[in-house]
C-alpha cells in the first residue's frame, strides 16, 4: 500500500484548519483547509425569500459552489465565461444546500434567506466535503452576527462532512486528489454533531461494493467526523459564539 | 399509517412492467412502468467516443434524462424552451450515467459510445430509479442487437434501482409521489444482480437518520431489488437474449 | 414508381390510430399514430394568461413541440442539453399553435391558457401534421374535462392536417420519412372540419411547382383530410364528448 | 373599405425601389424598399461549406434576417442583447433561405457558401417578402462579382415575393403594417420569374379561408409578382449583369 | 509615410456627413458618415426607468451597439444567431452609453429612459466614435420631438468623438480601418462642445506611449473635435432645433 | 475634505502587499492587496494557441477576471449561475489582457498561451488595477517557473496600474470604494516600469474634465505608479527571479 499524504493511517483525516473572518465584507466568512484543499466560505443573510416561499412565514438556506480556474493543477475553465455551470458543479452545490438546510429551523429563521458561497481556491480532493464543514461555520457566524434579530437561535444542528474511498477492499478516510482518482468506490458522508446522517452519497463506477464494506465505511466515517465536529464546535467557541447557540 | 398505493406493505415495491421494443427506431428500446410511473428508455450505439477518450482503446456509456411537460399533474416547463436543464435533471442524468457505466466493460466495448435516453412520459415518484432499471434493459437490448460486433459480451453486471423513505421511523420501499413529498428521509439505492451497491444516495433535509435506520433501509432495499433484478433478467430471456449475455 | 408503405395508393393517407387518455396526469391526453409516426399530445388548462393578454377578458392557446432523442433512426440531440431549440422545432411549434388557436374562441375561453404539448416518441415523417390532428384532440379532451367552467363550449372548429408531396409531377398524400426525403415539393395542409384552410405551407427547394400542381394538391389533400376529420370526430364521440361540443 | 396607402387598388403592390451597391464592403449589396419598408440585403461568397456538405462537391445558400431596434414604431428588443433570436426571426430566415436556394444550382456553385443577410432598417409590413425580392438581387450581384469563377452561371431561377391578405372576403395585395394587423388571413407567396411557386405560406388564425379565396389569392399574387420580377430583371440589366446570367 | 484616405494631412478628420430623419419610425434618427464608415443612430424615449432607478425621480440614458454582418469586408457573425454579444460589442456600447449620459440632466429628464441604438451598416474604422457623434444627434432629435414634455431642455452638453493613433511617433487623427490595424497606439477621445473630456481611452498593446505623445494626442484631438462639434451644432440648427436647446 | 482611508494624502496610494505562491497549483500565483482590496492572481502556461494564431510562430497572453459573490458588502450574483458575464466584467478582463500583452514578446514566447486569472476575494475599490499589478507578477512567476524553455526571457516590460479620481477639482490617487462612488471623474492608468503608458481610461459621467485636470492626473498617477513598480520589482527579486529577467 502506498503511503498517504500527511503520513496518515487509513482511518485518519487530513489536518483541518479554520480561519474565521478570512474576508471582511460578508456576514460570515471562513477559510477552511483540509490538507491542501482550501475553500473560502462566506454567508449573507438577506431580508427576502425565493418565490416559492413568499408569505409562508419561513426562511430559506441555499448554497453555491465554484472553483477558481487557478485552483487545479492544470487550469480549469471559468464557468462564467463558458456561460454555464458544469453538471458536477450543479450536483455539488445542491448537496451543500441540502446539507446546510439540515442546520436551520426555517420557521425560526423568519422570512430571510441565507446564501452560503463556497469557492475553492486550492483543490486537492474533498472540496465538497470541506465546503460543507466550512459552509456550516460561515452560516453560524452569519447568524451570530445577526443574533439581535432572534430570541431563540434558529438552529437545529451542525453538519460536517468527509469523503471516503474503498480501494482493493480497504477503506480510506478523507481522500486527496491522487487517491480520489484511483479508488474503486467514492463516498461522501454528511453527519450532524450527534452522529446522525444528513447525506450519504456513494458511487462505484468501477467496482460495486458489498454491504460489509458499507458497514466499515459508515463506522470509520462516523469516527472521523466526530473529531471534525468537535473541532468545528471549538472554532465557534474560540470565535466567541455563545454556547447556547451551538448544538 | 395511511394505506399505500397498490395495497402494498411497507417492504413491497409497486408492480413492475417491462415492454421491450416499445419504439421502433432506437437500437434498444423499453417502456418501463413501476406503478403509475412510466419511462421510455432508448439506447443507441455510435462508432465514436467523447474527446477525453480519443485513442484510448475504450468506449463510453452515458445517459440523458428528461420529463415530458405533460408527465406531471400540473404542467412542468419544457427545458428546451427555457434554454437550460434544471439542476435536478442534471443530477439525475449523472446518476443514471454512473449506474449504467457499472454494467459495461469499456475496454471490451471498443471505441464506441452507448447513449441511453430516459424520458418520463408519466410521473408518480421514483422516475430516476425506474430510469435506471429500464435504462439497463435498453442498454442490453442495444448491445444484443449489435452482438455480431463482439466475441465476448462487453458486460460486467446489471443494475436495478429503487427509492426508499423513512417516515416517523418506518422504512417504506418504492415511494410514490405522495409518499415522496412527505417522508423525512429519501434514499435511492442502485444494486447489481449479485447484491452489491453501485450507488447509495440518501438525503435528510428534515430529519437526519440514524445508523440503525440506515441498516434497515439497506436490508429492505436489498430484498426488494433482488426481485426486481430477477424480473429484469427474465425480461431479457423472454426477449431472446442469450443467457451467456446476462450476468 | 416505388411502392408506398402500407401498400397505399398516391391519394391514401397512412392508417390513423387514436388512443385517448394515453397518459394519466394531463387534462387531455392522446397518443396519435399515423403509420409509424407516434406523437403524445397532452393539454393543460391553467388559470392565467400571458403578459400581452392581461386584463383583456380573453384566453390563449399555445403549443410546444419536441422529439425524443430516441425517436429517430439515428439519435438526435436533446435540445434541453444543447440549451436551445432548433429552428425547425420553433417553426413547427409556431405552426401547431396557430392551427390550434383556430379551434377556440378566445373570448369564450375566459382568462385561461391552454398549452398543448406534442412530443414525438417515434418519427417516420409527418410528425407536425400528426401533432396538429392529435393536439386538437388533446385540446378538446382538456376542454371537455373542464366543461363545468363553461355555459357554451368555447370552440369554433376542429383542425386536422396532412403532408403532401410532389414527385416527378405526381402528388403523394401523407409522406413517410423516405418519401419526405425524396420529393421535389413538400406541403402541409391544415383544414377545418368544414373544408376550409387554416394553414398552407408549401416549399419547393428543388423544383418550383405550377398552379396546376397546386390545384391537385389542394384537391387530394382536402379529400384525405375529410376522412381524417371524420375519424377525429368519431374518437371524440367514442370518448363520450357530447355532440354539442363537437363542431 | 378604407383607403390603402399610396392610393392603391386592392390588386396593387406598393412602389418598389432598388438601390444596388447601397453598402460598399459586401460582395453583393442592395437596399430594397417596398413603400415604407426598407431592407438592406448583402451577400458574401465564401470558399467553404457547412459540415453536412463536406466533400459532396456542392455548395450552399443560406440567409439570416434581423430587424434594427429602431426600425419599428416602438423600439423592439435587440436580439443579440437578449441572447436569442425570437421564433418569428428564426421562421423568417428559414423561409428566406429556402427561397434563395431555389435560385441556385448547388452543384454548379462549387464548394462555396453564399450567405445573404437581410436587415430591416425601417418596417411597415412585408419585411420578409421584401427581404426575398432584395435578397435574390444581392445573391445575383454577389455571383456576378465572382463571375470569373464560373463557366456557366450557377443559377436556375430568380425569386420574388409578396404578401397578401383576405379581409371580409376581399383579397388585398402587399399589406402594410396597419393592414397586416387587421386581416383575417395572411399569406406569403414566393414565385419564380416563370410563374412557378417556391413557397406558399398562408395562415388564418381568425377565419379559415375557402378554396375559392385561395384561388383568387394565387391569381392576384401571381399578377403582382409578375411585375415585381420584371423590375427585378431590369435592375440587374441596369447594373450591367449580362443577360445570359439572368433567367 | 503612406498617403491617407481622402487625401488628408495627419491632423485632419475624414469628411463628416449627417442625414437626419434617415429612418421614419424612431423618435430621433440620423445616418452619420465619417468617410466610409456609416452608422444609423436612432433614439426612443420611453415612459419607464430601469429597476435600480425606480422611484428616484430621475431618468436614464442608455445605448446599444451593433454591426450588420454585411458591414465589414468579410462577413462578420450575427451576434443574435450566436446567442451572445462579443466582448468588443459590450465594451463599445458601455462607452457610448456613458458618453451620452454626459449630455443629459437625468433629474430634468424625469422618470423616462432614452435608448440610443447605433447600428453600423458600413465599417471602415472609427465606428464607435461615429456612433457617439451620431448618437448625440439622435438623442437631441428625440428630445426635441418630445419638447412639449419639458419646461427646460433636460440637456447639459453635447458630445463628439474621434479616434487617434500613434504610428512611428507620429499622431494621426481619425483612423480608417487600414490605419487602425497598423498603429502602435489606438486612442478614442470623447469631448464636450466646450472642450472638456468625457472619455479618454488609449491602448498600446504594441508600443507604450510617452507623456509627450499623449500631450500631442490631446491637442490634435481637441482641435479636430472642435470642428466636429460645430458641424454637429449646425446640423441641429438646420433641422430646426431651437438654439436654446443646443448647449 | 474628508479623511482618506489609511490616513493618506491625496497623492498617496494604499499600502501594497504581495504574497507570492499564495496558492500551490498554478504555474504562477500571487495574492495582491491594495488596502482592503484583495485579488488572487494565477497564471498557467499551456502549449497551445488560440485559433487565430495557429501556425504563426507566436504565442498569446490573455486574462480573465471574476469576483467572488462574497467579496462585496452585499452579496453579488455568481456570474456562472446567471449564465453570463456582466458587461463590466468583460470590459475589465479585456483591459487586463491588453495590459499584460504589453509585457511579453509574443514571438519569443513561442506557440504557447499564458492565461492569467484575477479573482477578487475582497473588494474595496481598484480591483482592476490591483489585478493588473498582481497579474503581471503572476505572469512573471509563471515564466520564471518555465525558464528552462527559453534562451532569452520573452518579456519586454512590466506593468502596474492605479485608479485616480477628480472630486471638486482635486485629484485623488488610488480610490477606495467609498471614494470611487463619489468622484466626478474616474480614471485608470496602466504604466510600464519606465514611465510609459499602456492604457489610459478616464470616464466622466457626471462632470467632464479639463485638459489641466488631465495633466495633474497624469503627473500624480505617474509618481504613484513609480513606487508601485519598484515594489513589484523588489517582490520579483525577493522571490529569486534573476535580475536579467526583470525589465
pLDDT in tens, B164-194: 999 999 999 999 999 999 999 999 999 999 9
Report the chain F residue with the minimal C-alpha distance to residue E185. F198
pLDDT of residue F84: 87
**What pLDDT score does A205 carry?**
73
Residue F187 confidence (pLDDT) above 70 = yes
Q: State the pLDDT at residue E157.
A: 96
Please report residues of E whose CB lies closer than 8 A to that of F203: 98, 198-199
- In the structure grid, which three cell numbers stand for residue F185, read together? 471623474
CB contact under 8 A, F208 and E214: no
Chain C within 8 Å of D246 (Cβ-Cβ)?
no
Q: For F42-89, how does the pLDDT look when each residue is reduced to its tens digit (9 = 90+)?
A: 999 999 999 999 999 999 999 999 999 999 999 999 999 988 899 999
How far is D171 from D214, CA to CA, in rounded Å? 9
Residues 6+ apart with CB under 8 A from E79: D80, E66, E85, E86, E89
Chains that touch A (3 or more CB pairs under 8 A): B, F
How high is the mean pLDDT of chain D?
A: 96
Helices marked H in chain A: 79-82, 87-101, 106-109, 127-145, 177-180, 211-239
Angle at A143 between CA A137 and CA A144, to 5 degrees: 85
d(CA B218, CA B216): 5
First to last CA, chain D: 39
Residue-level pLDDT at E1: 56
pTM for this entry: 0.92
CA distance E39 to E20: 12
**β-bridge pairing C185-192 and C197-203:** antiparallel
**Measured between alpha carbons, how far is residue D147 from residues D19, D151, D241, D244 in Å?**
21, 8, 10, 12
3-state secondary structure of E44: strand
Taking only the tens place, the pLDDT of each residue in D140-183 is: 999 999 999 999 999 999 999 999 999 999 999 999 999 999 99
The answer to whether F61 and F103 have CB atoms below 8 angstroms apart is yes
pLDDT for C102 beyond 60: yes
| Residue whose cell numbers read 416527378 | C168
Alpha-carbon span A124 to A181, nearest angstrom? 11
Question: CB D74: neighbour CB atoms within 10 A?
Answer: 9
| Cα C128–Cα C134–Cα C136 angle in degrees, nearest 5 | 105
Q: How many Cα atoms within 13 Å fall on the side-chain side of residue B231?
A: 20
Compute the average pLDDT of residues B225-243: 98
Chain A contact present for B168, CB below 8 A: no
Cα dihedral sign, C209-C211-C213-C218 = positive
Asked whether the predicted pLDDT for residue A66 surpasses 90, the reply is yes
What pLDDT score does B2 carry? 73
Q: How far apart are CA E82 and CA C83, in angstroms?
A: 12
**Distance (Å, whole) CA F161 – CA F157:** 13
E233 is in an annotated binding site: no
Confidence bin at F165 (pLDDT 50/70/90): very high
Could you read off the pLDDT of F108-124 as tens digits, one per residue? 999 999 999 999 999 99
Name the DSSP letter for residue E39: E
Task: Evaluate if residue D95 carries a pLDDT over 90.
Answer: yes
Q: Where are the alpha helices (DSSP H) in chain E?
A: 79-82, 87-101, 106-109, 127-145, 177-180, 211-239
**pLDDT tens digit sequence for F82-98:** 888 999 999 999 999 99
The interface residues of chain A toward chain B in range 219-238, judged by CB-CB distance below 8 A, are 222
What is the average pLDDT score of chain C?
96
**Rounded Cα distance, B10 and D150, in Å:** 78
- pLDDT by residue (tens digit) across C45-80? 999 999 999 999 999 999 999 999 999 999 999 999
* Number of Cβ atoms within 10 Å of the Cβ of C148: 5
Residue B194: the pLDDT is: 96
F195 to chain E, closest Cα gap in Å: 7
Tell me how far apart the alpha carbons of residues E149 and F186 are, in angstroms, rounded to a whole number: 33
F24 min Cα distance to partner chain E (Å): 30
Give residue A62's pLDDT. Answer: 98
Give me D167's grid cell.
379581409
Say if residue A1's pLDDT is above 60: no
Position B113 confidence tier, pLDDT thresholds 50, 70, 90 = very high
Q: Is D113 on the interface with E (CB under 8 A)?
A: no
CA distance B169 to chain A (A): 13
What proportion of chain C, given as a percentage, has pLDDT over 90? 96
Nearest-Cα distance to chain F for A170, in Å, is: 29
**What pLDDT was estimated at residue C2?**
73
Closest residue, chain A, to B103 (C-alpha)? A205
**For residues A110 and A39, what is the distance between their CA atoms, to the nearest angstrom?**
29
Chain E residue numbers touching D83 (CB-CB < 8 A): 83-84
**Average pLDDT rounded to a whole number, residues A15-23:** 98
Tell me which chain E residue has its CA closest to the CA of residue D42.
E70
Cα gap E216→E198, rounded to integer Å: 18
CB contact under 8 A, D87 and C101: no
By C-alpha distance, which of D140, D133, D127 is closest to D99?
D133
User: According to DSSP H, which parts of chain F are helical?
Assistant: 79-82, 87-101, 106-109, 127-145, 177-180, 211-239
Q: What Rg do the C-alpha atoms of chain E give, in angstroms?
A: 18
Q: What are phi and psi of A54, to 5 degrees?
A: -55, 130
ipTM for the predicted complex comes to: 0.95
Interval C185-232: pLDDT, tens: 999 999 999 999 999 999 997 899 999 999 999 999 999 999 999 999
What is the distance between the alpha carbons of residues D143 and E198, in angstroms, rounded to a whole number? 46
Max CA separation in chain F (angstroms): 58
Q: What local confidence, expressed as pLDDT, does residue D1 receive?
A: 56
What residues 64-103 of chain A have any CB closer than 8 A to a CB of chain B? 84, 87-88, 90-91, 93-94, 98, 101-102
Residue of D5, D77, D80, D134 best to disrupt the E interface, most CBs of E under 10 A: D80
- D39 half-sphere exposure, CB direction, 13 A CA radius: 31
> For cell 394568461, what's the residue?
C49
Q: Closest chain A residue to F26 measured between Cα atoms?
A: A70
Is residue D19 less than 8 Å (CB to CB) from chain E? Answer: no
> pLDDT tier at B27 (50, 70, 90 boundaries)?
very high
For chain C, percent of residues with pLDDT exceeding 70: 100
Confidence of residue E205 (pLDDT cuts 50, 70, 90): confident
Closest chain D residue by Cα to residue E43: D70
Is residue E83 scored above 90 in pLDDT?
no
Q: Which of A68, A215, A224, A52 has its CA nearest to residue A133?
A: A224
SS3 D63: strand
CB contact under 8 A, E102 and F197: no
Q: What are phi and psi of E40, to 5 degrees?
A: -90, 120
**pLDDT above 80: residue E104:** yes
E151-195 pLDDT, tens digit each? 999 999 999 999 999 999 999 999 999 999 999 999 999 999 999
pLDDT confidence of residue A54: 93
Collect all residues of chain B within an 8 Å Cβ-Cβ radius of residue C74: 44, 46
Confidence check: pLDDT of F205 > 80: no
Amino acid at each position: 500500500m502506498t503511503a498517504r499524504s500527511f503520513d496518515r493511517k487509513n482511518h485518519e483525516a487530513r489536518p483541518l484548519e479554520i480561519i474565521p473572518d478570512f474576508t471582511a465584507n460578508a456576514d460570515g466568512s471562513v477559510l477552511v483547509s483540509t490538507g491542501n484543499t482550501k475553500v473560502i466560505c462566506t454567508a449573507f443573510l438577506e431580508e427576502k425569500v425565493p418565490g416559492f416561499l413568499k408569505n409562508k412565514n419561513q426562511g430559506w438556506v441555499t448554497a453555491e459552489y465554484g472553483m477558481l480556474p487557478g485552483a487545479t493543477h492544470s487550469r480549469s475553465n471559468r464557468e462564467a465565461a463558458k456561460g454555464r455551470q458544469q453538471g458536477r458543479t450543479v450536483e455539488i452545490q445542491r448537496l451543500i444546500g441540502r446539507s446546510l438546510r439540515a442546520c436551520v429551523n426555517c420557521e425560526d429563521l423568519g422570512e430571510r434567506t441565507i446564501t452560503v458561497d463556497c469557492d475553492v481556491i486550492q483543490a486537492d480532493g474533498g472540496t465538497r466535503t470541506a465546503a460543507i464543514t466550512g459552509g456550516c461555520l460561515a452560516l453560524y457566524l452569519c447568524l451570530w452576527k445577526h443574533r439581535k434579530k432572534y430570541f431563540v437561535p434558529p438552529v437545529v444542528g451542525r453538519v460536517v462532512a468527509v469523503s471516503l474511498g474503498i480501494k482493493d477492499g480497504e477503506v480510506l478516510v478523507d481522500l486527496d486528489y491522487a487517491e480520489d482518482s484511483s479508488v474503486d468506490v467514492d463516498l461522501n458522508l454528511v453527519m450532524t454533531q450527534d452522529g446522525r446522517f444528513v447525506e450519504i452519497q456513494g458511487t462505484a463506477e468501477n467496482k460495486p461494493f458489498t454491504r460489509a464494506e458499507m458497514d466499515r465505511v459508515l463506522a470509520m466515517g462516523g469516527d472521523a467526523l466526530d473529531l471534525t465536529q468537535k473541532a468545528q464546535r471549538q472554532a465557534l467557541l474560540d470565535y466567541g459564539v455563545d454556547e447556547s447557540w451551538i448544538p
